[in-house]
A and B are shown apart, each in its own frame.
Chain A
Amino acid sequence: MMQNDNPFLTRLDWLSLALLAALLLVAFPLGLDTFRLNLVGKYLTYAFVALGLVICWGYGGILSLGQGLFFGLGGYCMAMFLKLEASTVENTKIQSTPGIPDFMDWNQITALPWFWQPFHSLALTLLLVVAVPVAFALLVGAAMFKRRVSGVYFAIITQAIAAIMTILIVGQQGYTGGINGITDLRTLAGWDIRTDGAKLLLYFVNAALLIGCILVAQSVRRSKLGRILVAMRDKEDRVRFSGYAVASFKIFAFCLAAGFSAIGGAMFTLQVGFMSPSFVGITPSIEMVIYAAVGGRTSLFGAVYGTLLVNGAKTAFSESFPELWLFGLGALFIAVVLAFPDGLAGLVRNRLLPWAGRMLARGGKPAPVRPGMVTK
């Protein structure tokens, strides 16, 4: 699987992709009611973050504890556009300054601040949703990786940045909506996003984008770049001494992860209908790491399943045993680290596939997956 002449997707990858697509695009929409489907849609937005973490943590060895920041930035960019659209002069005529978002009016702001101006345009917004977080990641990444900050230090610094951003967003409530976030979003370019039909469509857009991102990630993984990332993770000095600019590769992986997270954030805003600083902080950022870990930190598909599993469990648990949920989540963190470092993907690779192979072989049919193919 490591040879250069390998195809873009192996047979196993094709199988996994088809399975995931069938699950997301057919099974869930048919099998779940609107309410549950919307929930799944929300979980899938977190899967973007988990996917980014697979690239930057699983492959690049860079653990960022501030991915919520990029998720939040993307979500805020989208929310700013939607809020401006919802704050027409007509809708806000009871305010002392009609035509600006309600929370600005409550904070005695009388004109739209400059950094809100670009969000009048949908095209520009869609660009900024990705551009702002990626630019920020570039800035942070360049500053840190050029100075060879890595591992634990990087994790703690990204965590601190997420904490600072939360304090800033909450404190500057006249510009950001403060702790309540940006709420009461209604339409996207005149299209009501709150109806069940809109939610269904957004779900499909979300699922399609996610599959698209998986393909992008896959192409990175299959490229030379992907292999350098892995090499760097395992023996950074050797890669550096071979003449590669290690920092640039790390920056790229970090920016890619930020971009994925931002798309997830924007889709979150569209599907849930608001954005608040509680996604920018430390707790959500660390929880998102666990999604990737549960799925198997080097598995792109695993990231999606891990996200679905943890969130599904969270919802189920907190509906039936709200007070026990934290025990369950805590135990999950520990179990995944101690007992299943390769997560769900590891289970499938090491247990399920060989078993399936044997079963099929015994049935006299050719095994679709030869055990030899099943390597990392």
Chain B
Amino acid sequence: MFGDYSLSDLGSIFVMQGFAGLILFSVFVLMALGLAIIFGQMGVINMAHGEFMILGAYVTYLTATFFQNHLPGLFDAYFFVAMVLAFLAAGALGMAVEWLLIRHLYRRPLDTLLATWGLSLILQQAYRSSFGAREVGVDLPGWMIGSLQATETIEIQINGLFIMALTVLITIAVGLMMFRSRWGQQVRAVVQNRVMAGAVGIDTGRVDRLTFGIGCGIAGIAGSAFTMIGSTGPTSGQLYIVNTFLIVVFGGAQSLLGTIASAFTISQTQSTLEFFTSGSMASVITLLGVVGILMLRPQGLFTLKIRR
């Protein structure tokens, strides 16, 4: 397939394809980070993760509409406001859900799966009732659309750069929170030994609620960012859920580093395969590969060594 192309053509395709892989990687990391915290750290199987993302997307949509109607002058900057609001909305809903639902189920992880699946159905119908069954289009500020002409043949997508920057920022923030802050210390203590953490005076209930809220909040930011590349509809969240879980499990559920490594592996495999084979086959081969490796190495790529 390369016979007809000049060397510079090939070079630029190579660069752009690498870039496409990096965008996919950022998207995967954004999807998975929130879940890595909730599932990896707390052991809660949150099947409504996709719906929390879509909440962020809808908040972005509402913010865009508000700015268009009331503050058209500031429209260029609305996206940043939207992301903060998305984080707060999804986080607040997450904390409410933790308090009403999840905290009763910490001893029964498989039951959290059923309960959050029920929650996801309710949220989907709530979106449908309030925003309609159709997808909504989110208008982006002009500067976020289009691409930079790096050379004559290499074009770099601006929203791709934006997502990558966002991913790096959030990853660093999460890393700092987990490993440098008091909250992170408490979370890790609770994960490693809940009873002992409680015994030394950590308010495990509060830590859980905050952790769940932050996980959901990050999902909200991810959803907000995805309005740039994907669709926003009542059931859009379902598109992400299988991939997201596989990424987290493949990385080794309790390791944030693992999540990032697994997002990288899966995204590069998928985007390379998509280029050389066809779209459907690429998805099947990637998923099969992941499942195959998980069967051989059920603990995932990275594991946390602790005594139970």
The residues of A with any CB-CB pair to B shorter than 8 Å are 63, 65, 143-144, 147-149, 151-153, 155-157, 159-161, 163-164, 167-168, 171, 282-283, 286, 289-290, 293, 323-324, 326-327, 329-334, 336-338, 341
Contacts and interface: CB of A to CB of B under 8 A. Distances in A.
B122 interface: yes
Interface of B: 43, 45, 47, 101, 104-105, 108-111, 113-115, 117-122, 124-126, 128-129, 238, 241-242, 245-246, 249, 280-281, 283-284, 287-288, 290-291, 294-296, 298
23 contacts: A65-B113, A147-B296, A148-B298, A149-B294, A153-B249, A159-B242, A160-B291, A163-B287, A164-B288, A167-B287, A282-B241, A289-B114, A329-B118, A330-B118, A330-B121, A332-B118, A333-B119, A334-B119, A337-B105, A337-B114, A338-B115, A341-B108, A341-B111
Contacts of A164: 284, 287-288, 291
Contact of B295 (A149, A168, A326, A333): A149
Contacts of B242: 159-160, 163, 282
Nearest to B281: A171
A164 B101 CA distance: 31
Contacts of B298: 144, 147-149, 153
Given A327-B122, A329-B121, A330-B122, A151 B115 contact: no
A199 B145 CA distance: 58
Contacts of A159: 242, 245
B90 to A, nearest CB: 18
Contacts, number: 115
Contact of B245 (A156, A334, A336, A341): A156
A57 to B, nearest CB: 8
A155 B122 contact: no
Given A156-B246, A323-B125, A329-B121, 18 more contacts: A147-B295, A149-B294, A149-B295, A152-B109, A155-B45, A155-B110, A164-B288, A167-B283, A167-B287, A171-B284, A282-B242, A283-B238, A286-B117, A323-B128, A330-B120, A330-B125, A337-B118, A338-B115
Contacts of A334: 101, 115, 118-119, 122
Contact of A168 (B115, B120, B125, B284): B284
Nearest to A163: B242
B5 to A, nearest CB: 29
A290 B110 CA distance: 12
Q: Which of A148, A153, A336 has the most CB of B within 10 A?
A: A153
B117 A333 contact: yes
B253 to A, nearest CB: 8
B114 A156 contact: no
A155 B101 contact: no
Nearest to A158: B291
Nearest to B295: A143
Contacts of A330: 118-122, 125
Contacts of B291: 157, 160-161, 164
Contact of B110 (A151, A326, A327): A151
Nearest to B123: A330
Contacts of B117: 286, 290, 333
A99 to B, nearest CB: 29
B229 to A, nearest CB: 21
A159 B126 CA distance: 25
Contact of A326 (B113, B121, B238): B121
A149 B300 CA distance: 11
A339 to B, nearest CB: 10
Contact of B284 (A151, A167, A333): A167
B251 to A, nearest CB: 12
Given A151-B109, A155-B110, A168-B284, A333 B118 contact: yes
A323 B122 CA distance: 11
Contacts of A338: 101, 104-105, 115
Contact of B249 (A156, A167, A286, A332): A156
Given A144-B295, A282-B242, A326 B115 contact: no
Given A148-B298, A157-B294, A326 B284 contact: no
Contacts of B288: 164
Contacts of B246: 156, 160
A157 B295 contact: yes
A323 B125 CA distance: 8
A268 to B, nearest CB: 23
A341 B110 CA distance: 12
B205 to A, nearest CB: 17
Nearest to A290: B114
A149 B115 CA distance: 23
Contacts of B287: 160, 163-164, 167
A340 B43 CA distance: 22
Nearest to B39: A152
Contacts of A153: 249, 294, 298
